[in-house]
Amino acid sequence: MTTVDHKRIAILYGVTAFIFLLIGGLEAGVIRMQLASADNDLIGAGRFNEMFTMHATTMVFMVIMPLGVSFFNFVIPLAIGARDVAFPRLNALSFWIFLFGAVLMHMSFVVNQVPDAGWFSYANLTEKPFSPNRGLDFWSISLLVMGVASVAGALNFIVTIINMRAPGMTFMRMPVFVWMTLITSILLVLAFPVITVGLIELTLDRNFGTHFFIPAEGGDPILWQHLFWIFGHPEVYILILPPMGIVSEILPTFSRKPLFGYPFVVFSGIVIGIMGWAVWSHHMFTVGLGPVANSVFTITTMLIAVPTGVKIFNWIGTLWKGAIEFTTPMLFALGFVALFIIGGLSGVSHAVSPSDFQQQDTYYIVAHIHYVLFGGSMFGIFAGAYYWFPKITGRMMDETIGKINFWLIFIGMNLTFFPMHFLGLNGMPRRIYTYSAELGWENLNRIASFGYIVLFVGILVFIYNILKARNSRRVSHDPWDAPGLEWSIASPPPAYNFAEIPQIQGRDHYWIVKEKAEAAGTPITEPEALVDPSSIHMPSPSYWPIFTAVGVTLIGGGLLSHYALSFVGGVIAMMGVIGWSNEPAAAPSDHH
Partner 1 sequence: MAHAVEQEYTTTGLNHRKLLMWVFLGSDCLFFASLIATYMVYRGQSLVGPYPNDIIDVPVTTISTFVLLMSSFAMVQALAATNADNRKATINWLLATALLGSIFIGFQIVEFNTFKNEGLTLGGNLFGASFFTLTGFHGAHVTLGIIWLLALAILGMKGRINSKTALDVELCGLYWHFVDIVWIVIFTLLYLIAGFDVGPVAIPGG
Q: Interface with partner 1 by CB under 8 A: which residues?
A: 86-87, 151, 155-156, 158-159, 162-165, 167, 169, 189-194, 196-198, 200-201, 204, 208-212, 217-220, 223, 227, 578, 580-582, 584-585, 591
Which residue, 180 or 330, is less far from partner 1 as judged by CB? Answer: 180
Minimum CB–partner distance for residue 17 and Cu ion (Å):
23
Please report how close the Cβ of residue 266 comes to partner 1 at its closest, in angstroms.
Answer: 17
Which distant-in-sequence residues (6+ apart) come within 8 Å of 338 by Cβ?
Answer: 375
Interaction partner, residue 217 (Cu ion, partner 1, none; CB < 5-8 Å by kind):
partner 1
The rounded distance, in Å, linking the Cα atoms of 539 and 298 is 50
**Nearer to partner 1 by C-beta: 163 or 540?**
163
As measured in angstroms, the least distance from the Cβ of 400 to partner 1 is 43
| Minimum CB–partner distance for residue 230 and Cu ion (Å) | 10
| Angstrom distance (rounded) from CA 554 to CA 427 | 45
Q: How many whole angstroms separate alpha carbon 65 and alpha carbon 80? A: 22
Q: What does 155 interact with, of Cu ion, partner 1, none (CB < 5 to 8 A by kind)?
A: partner 1
Which residues in the 25-64 window bind Cu ion by CB under 5 A?
none
Q: Which one among 233, 311, 368, 421 touches Cu ion, defined by CB under 5 A?
A: 233
* Cβ 24 to Cu ion shortest distance, Å: 21
Selection from partner 1, Cu ion, none that 342 binds (CB < 5 to 8 A by kind) is none
**Residue 590: phi, psi to the nearest 5?**
-75, 165
Running DSSP on this structure, what letter comes out for residue 469? Answer: G
Q: How far is the CB of 565 from partner 1 (least distance, A)?
A: 19
- Given a contact cutoff of 8 angstroms between Cβ atoms, the answer to whether 251 and 319 are in contact is yes
* For partner 1, the closer CB: 199 or 397: 199
- Alpha carbon dihedral 350, 353, 357, 360, in 10-degree steps, equals 40
Number of shown-chain residues binding Cu ion (CB under 5 A):
1
Which one, 40 or 566, has the nearer CB to partner 1?
Answer: 566
Q: Is the Cβ–Cβ distance between 473 and 395 less than 8 Å?
A: yes
Query: Exposed/middle/buried for 122, CB within 10 Å: 0-12, 13-18, 19+?
Result: middle
Residue 413, number of CB atoms within 10 A of its CB: 23
Q: Do residues 333 and 383 lie in contact, with contact meaning Cβ atoms separated by under 8 Å?
A: yes
3-state secondary structure of 283: helix
Determine the length of the chain: 592
Cα(295)–Cα(259) distance, integer angstroms: 36
Q: Which option in Cu ion, partner 1, none does residue 233 bind, with CB closer than 5 to 8 A by kind?
A: Cu ion
Q: Is 206 in the site for Cu ion (CB under 5 A)?
A: no
**Nearest distance from C-beta of residue 237 to Cu ion, angstroms:** 9
Report the partner that residue 179 touches, choosing among partner 1, Cu ion, none (CB closer than 5 to 8 A by kind). none
The site partner of 112 among Cu ion, partner 1, none (C-beta below 5 to 8 Å per kind) is none
Q: Which of 206/233 has CB closer to Cu ion? A: 233
DSSP 83: S
Interface positions with Cu ion (CB under 5 A): 233
